[in-house]
Amino acid sequence: MLNLVLFGPPGAGKGTQAIYLARTFNLVHLSTGDLLRQEITAKTDLGRMADEIISKGELVPDSIVISMIEAKLNTPKTTVGFIFDGFPRTVPQAKALDELLQKHNSKVSVMLCLEVDKLELIGRLLKRGLTSGRCDDADAATIENRINVYNEKTAPLINYYAEQGKYHQIQGIGEIDEIAARLKEAVLKL
């Protein structure tokens, strides 16, 4: 199986590129952000809880997102692999993903990290906020907090995957097509 972890700070372009990669390699796209937003739209109890956390730019508890991914992996579906977008975001989530995949006799193939500098990220997120309707894109303080949370809790995963020889940096600035081509090339070289 080909299991890609698409990684990078908020605004790096994970969602956009994950859709492209899923199409190119026939993978099932799993985005914890999208799954949480579906819960918010459906106004479930989980959605209400997630909405409060997401609008502050904090992370939803590990146990919740891990259960969501577990449920998806346990749903029988024929696929050549998965693309994980926005997950894992903490070391416990990465460990849980390894265990879940192991149960399915599989593993993470590579972690593709989109590199984008902070100024560019803030600009992109504020721009997206004008049209996305996402409360977490709407103000500079929340965006700043999301980037800080990323640096504190999520960036340590770079070491986690680097130690396994799975960390792969991809330049995330440029045209969408160019970045997509860089990602495709990295996967084809695996």
Residues near ligand ADP, by CB under 6 A: 10-11, 14, 32-33, 36, 53-54, 57-60, 65, 86-87, 89, 93, 136, 146
Tokens 């600009």 correspond to: 123
Instruction: Tell me how far, at minimum, the Cβ of 26 lies from ligand ADP, in Å.
Output: 22
Residue 122 or 186 having the CB closest to ligand ADP: 122
24: tokens are 């190119």
Instruction: Tell me how far, at minimum, the Cβ of 82 lies from ligand ADP, in Å.
Output: 14
Residue 56 or 184 having the CB closest to ligand ADP: 56
Among 114, 125, 118, residue whose Cα is nearest residue 5? 114
Instruction: Tell me how far, at minimum, the Cβ of 32 lies from ligand ADP, in Å.
Output: 3
Q: Give residue 133's identity as a one-letter amino acid code.
A: G
Among 170, 164, 169, 30, residue whose Cα is nearest residue 89? 30
CB-closest chain residue to ligand ADP:
33
Instruction: Tell me how far, at minimum, the Cβ of 186 lies from ligand ADP, in Å.
Output: 20
Residue 57 or 172 having the CB closest to ligand ADP: 57
Return d(Cα 85, Cα 108) in angstroms, integer. 13
Angle (deg, nearest 10), helices 32-41 and 45-56: 120
Cβ-proximal residues to 124 (8 Å cutoff; 6+ apart), any chain: 11, 13, 116
Residue 117 or 185 having the CB closest to ligand ADP: 117
> 3-state class of 59 per DSSP?
coil
Instruction: Tell me how far, at minimum, the Cβ of 75 lies from ligand ADP, in Å.
Output: 18
Would you tell me how many other CB atoms lie within 10 Å of the CB of residue 31?
19
Residue 14 or 182 having the CB closest to ligand ADP: 14
Q: Supply φ then ψ for residue 104, to 5 degrees.
A: -100, 20
Residue 45 or 188 having the CB closest to ligand ADP: 45
Instruction: Tell me how far, at minimum, the Cβ of 50 lies from ligand ADP, in Å.
Output: 7
